[in-house]
Amino acid sequence: MTAHRFQPSKPLTGRIRVPGDKSISHRSLMFGALAVGHSRISGLLEGEDVLATAAALRAMGASIAKDGDDWIVDGVGVGGLLQPGQALDMGNSGTSTRLLMGLVASHGITAAFTGDASLSKRPMNRVIDPLSTMGASFTPSPGGTLPLMMEGMQPAVPITYRLPVASAQVKSAVLLAGLNTPGITTVIEPVPTRDHTERMLRGFGAELTVEEDNGERIIRIHGPADLHPCDIVVPGDPSSAAFFAVAASIVPGSDLVIENVGLNPTRDGIFRVLTQMGASIDKLDEREVGGEPVADLRVRHASLKGIEIDPTVVPSMVDEFPVLFVAAAMAEGTTVTRGLEELRVKESDRISAMADALTGAGVELEEAEDGLIIEGSGGAPLRGTANSRTKTHLDHRIAMSMAIAGLASRDGVEIDSIDPIATSFPNFIALLEEAAA
Ligand SMILES: O=C(O)C1=C[C@@H](OP(=O)(O)O)[C@@H](O)[C@H](O)C1
Ligand SMILES: C=C(OP(=O)(O)O)C(=O)O
């Protein structure tokens, strides 16, 4: 554990570029591994979570190698995954685990999945349930957690599955199992979640349709699919850009351009909510990169106002609430968030972890079962209790959010470990130093 104190910051200025989108990076490797032939990926996020996906796919027969700044994947074809010779170590990554379980489910192979202490507490029944209906069998640890063993079924049985929880990981697990399942596998999504799986599978040549019906999305995939290799350009991660958008909004004097930020409407909720709170965020040079809307974001310091956040925006910013809470702590007035029960089953319980961390940083708040109610400082620097230290609970987003709180504090904020940051944003501290130089 490497502790670190994030000190009050000078204004953030200049231009920075955040690393590639984590969700798209995982999927680029997985779909490349299932195409026959050579896919080239540029802008891949080289974070620990994505590298865990790469290692698992290599263990199942794909060849994945770096070529200059790009990555090359030589796939085995849908149905061609091999039985791994050792347990697949998923590290800290829920996305790797749940999506790869979907892939294994319709291959006639057995695999063991393991993970770190954080991942080993997270619920896997949400994917075990539908994948069992498709024919896979599972031996999980008590409570439906890792470590677990699973055996795929070949051929698997197509199902129609209505998502009981708004989760792109569960949706994707079922669709990926459907890739190698004869017939039509259907996922019904009552609330739209990030749609990278759908967009990208179509790009790789899968027969996938999306029908909208009364706000619900009905996604059908025809299996077995034939994927052809692709060249992919991964846009910058909006979830990573969010830390800098909040930082520039709350550190007086800031005027920062964050280049190449993915703005898929299923991901851009944080920028819409910050704008509602009074943030100054201009979209420059709007364009398309790798089939996704992208822009450079110019963010200037602004006086933020507390608001009540509409729960329907939650799926489009589910990972951004920890840093949104920091923005709320610096706003004038009260911010109310609701509908965040999913935050309790991420890398940590992000509602209680942020409630503790912000309380230590001197913020007044109230914790509800499904959200936080935060009294903002009206822009005054946060004044923590002496010797308070943020517990990150192996959660990168808690570490980075409280780092940003430190920039806007009077005496700095101490984080117990910056190590988890490498899972999603390895150059976070270097970019912060660059922007504040
Ligand atoms: O599909 C994905 O790439 C992800 C989906 C979300 O998880 P859930 O599906 O559990 O909401 C998100 O929190 C995670 O960081 C990435
Ligand atoms: C929840 C996250 O990731 P995962 O589920 O892949 O661990 C995240 O990155 O905030």
Element at 138 (helix H, strand E): strand 137-141
> Which ligand has the shortest distance to the CA of 424?
2
Q: Is 226 a catalytic residue?
A: no
- Could you identify the residue written with the tokens 């976070």? 428
Binding positions are 22-23, 27, 94, 122, 167, 169, 319, 346, 350, 397
Could you report the per-residue pLDDT of 388-421, keeping only the tens digit for each? 899 999 999 999 999 999 999 999 999 999 999 9
Tokens of 432: 């912060």
Binding positions for phosphoenolpyruvate are 22, 94, 122, 169, 350, 397
412 CA to centre of ligand 1 in angstroms: 31
Q: Is 342 in the pocket of ligand 1 (CB under 6 A)?
A: yes
Residue count of the chain, please give it: 437
Q: Crossing angle for the helix pair 168-179 and 94-105, nearest 10 degrees?
A: 30
Domains, in order of start, for the chain: 4-20+235-435 (3.65.10.10), 23-233 (3.65.10.10)
Asked if residue 293 has pLDDT above 90, the reply is yes
291 CA to centre of ligand 2 in angstroms: 23
Provide ipTM, 2 decimals: 0.99
> Sorting pLDDT into bands at 50, 70 and 90, what band is 290?
confident
Longest dimension (CA), the chain: 62
Best mutation site among 49, 122, 175, 194 for ligand 1 pocket (most ligand atoms within 8 Å of CB): 194
Q: Provide the pLDDT for residue 395.
A: 98
Q: Is 318 in the pocket of ligand 1 (CB under 6 A)?
A: yes
C-alpha to C-alpha distance for 8 and 258, rounded to whole angstroms: 21
Catalytic choice (319, 395, 411, 416)? 319
pTM (2 d.p.): 0.98
Asked if residue 318 has pLDDT above 80, the reply is yes
Long-range contacts of 364-369 (CB under 8 A, 24+ apart): 365/329, 368/338, 369/341
Strand partners, 413: 6
C-alpha to C-alpha distance for 2 and 24, rounded to whole angstroms: 29
**Omega into 155 within 30° of 0, i.e. cis?**
yes
From the alpha carbon of 22, which atom of ligand 2 is closest?
9
Strands of 110-114's sheet, edge to edge? 88-89, 110-114, 145-151, 137-141
Could you report the per-residue pLDDT of 43-92, keeping only the tens digit for each? 999 999 999 999 999 999 999 999 999 999 999 999 999 999 999 999 99
